[in-house]
Amino acid sequence: MNSRPQPTFVLVRPQMGENIGAAARAMWNFGLDRMRIVAPRDGWPNQKAVAMASGAGRLLDEAMLTDDLPGALEDATYVFATTARPRDITKPVFAPERAMQVAAEKIAAGEKVAVLFGPERAGLENDDVARANAIITVPVNPEFFSLNLAQCVLLTGYEWQRASTDYEMEVNDPRGDWANGEEVEALARHYEEKLDDAGFFWPEAKAPNMKLNLRNLWSRMPLTRADVQTLHGLLRQMARKRQNITDEGSEGS
């Protein structure tokens, strides 16, 4: 594996082995070799992916395979989601050039950056995008905005190569120990569970969108591990206080 700091490219539920192989070739064109594959439709390993990867087959051999997106983002501290469709989600939106400049800055500061690429047919779902900190949108023809998976990977990889050669990539993090994806995911689940117990997600028909908005809130916040522990502690104390009040009310009745 290339030891030079770089982002991880995550293929989310890719549908065709040929596109996975072509994405591997596109990554290796620009010295990127950290691929993760989430729930590939046609299973794994995939011989069509191997055939298409040609000289980049090593990326497929070393790729991390996960059943779901949280598993692929456990160690990530900053996540970009690529999407061509407008989203009713409040997040920073970057063109690929600026996104990879931001990625280079964050990686140089000690963060672990991931870039999500969605399935060929419809792209990332809103639940996927909700786990990202920012969006990458390519300024393409509005009458034909569909990009092939490998094309999107190639374009992002090219911009990474440009950004990283212009930026000093020595890792140095003066700002703190950033929370990774696994820790933020646990925080999100903790709040969802306790808020659900408290009856916050009401009416029931609006609950899915309320949970999506809450998850977007976490992904927009740059959280350190200390922040996450503080927020866990705050919620535990509030839940404990609520339970004490409930118990006292029961004793007095």
Considering only 38-47, 127-136, 140-149, which range has the smallest mean pLDDT? 140-149
DSSP-assigned letter for residue 178 = B
pLDDT of residue 194: 87
Last residue of one domain, picked from the residues 165, 190, 207: 165
d(CA 155, CA 151): 6
123 and 226 together in one domain: no
pLDDT at position 175 over 60: no
208: containing domain? 181-252
Q: What percent of the chain has pLDDT over 90?
A: 51
pLDDT of residue 158: 96
The total domain count for the chain is 2
Report which of 96, 238, 215, 71 is spatially closest to residue 163, judged by C-alpha positions: 96
Last residue of one domain, picked from the residues 136, 165, 194: 165
156 and 199 together in one domain: no
pLDDT of residue 208: 87
d(CA 177, CA 173): 8
H or E stretch covering 94: strand 93-94
107 and 205 together in one domain: no
134 and 27 together in one domain: yes
pTM: 0.78
pLDDT of residue 246: 63
**CATH classification of the domain holding 119:** 3.40.1280.10
